[in-house]
Amino acid sequence: MSKKLVFFKFKSILRESILLLLKNPFLFVPKLLIAFFYGVGTLVAVGLVKELFSFSSFSTEQMLSFDFTSFFSIAILLMLFTLFSFFFDLFFNGLYPILVRLALKKKLSFLDGVNLFKPKIFSVFLTGVFLWVLITLVSILESFLVIYYNLSKEGFVLSFLITFLFAFLFYFLYPKIVFENKGIQESFCSSVFDSFKNKKIVFLLSSIPFIVSVLKLILAYFSNDLVFLIIFWVIVILTGVIYSIHSVVNQIAYEKILAKN
């Protein structure tokens, strides 16, 4: 497939997705809510990391007066909040393909979507947990290599490349879990195969949420500044909007690309 044809297909899928969202604005709501949850979690996590790094430069008096109880209480609450957000996100990752397919048929109903999704909830949750474990293991390996070979600068870039690679390889994972009668392992393999088979268009599609996530993380680091904090929350809202578009794009791409293969 030529670059011109790939870009034309990309624009066509994106245009159809935006039009579908404008006709069904409810499809914006779940991802906006999830973006808000992750936004809160990101700010708290970045604040804790900053505090942890500053601890190494504390004087003895500052170390003795440091409120460890408060620090670890916030850390535990953050873990629980992140876990809740993770499963909430997983739920909608699996539900969106059904909602989009209903919207394409002009039969969008949240309750109907949930009822159709019920038989697949366990598979979607198991898939999400397996994917998280896989990402964690790769991240641990990457951290080990960065520390062992002293690649601090390169490690930062490598982390983003790994994140993008996962987004690319498993781009069609959730639609496959929801709509195809395959096991989890087979769905993973099938997603990788179809992503490589359609690598040019999937590369473009995968870049949409990745760029926004990177920008949000950078702004979160500078969130102590009021201007950056305002920009951060604007980005969070835009993230919700873009992830809504991406969720619709994902399903429409699945319908248009894989249905023809």
Tens-digit pLDDT profile for residues 43-55: 888 777 776 666 5
Q: State the pLDDT at residue 190.
A: 95
Q: Compute the CA torsion angle 20, 24, 25, 27 (nearest 10 deg).
A: -80
Q: Per-domain residue ranges for the chain?
A: 3-260
Q: State the pLDDT at residue 228.
A: 73
Q: State the pLDDT at residue 229.
A: 74
Those residues of the chain that have pLDDT short of 50 are 261
Closest CA to 249 of 1, 84, 31, 5: 31
Sequence-distant (≥ 6) Cβ neighbours of residue 28 within 8 angstroms = 21, 240, 241, 244
Q: What does the alpha-carbon distance between residue 55 and residue 15 come to, in Å, rounded to a whole number?
A: 49
3-state SS track over 130-164: HHHHHHHHHHHHHHHHHHHCCCHHHHHHHHHHHHH
Q: State the pLDDT at residue 63.
A: 57
Q: State the pLDDT at residue 98.
A: 96
Query: pLDDT tens digits for 5-17?
Result: 888 889 999 999 9
Query: pLDDT tens digits for 68-103?
Result: 677 788 888 989 999 999 999 999 999 999 999 999
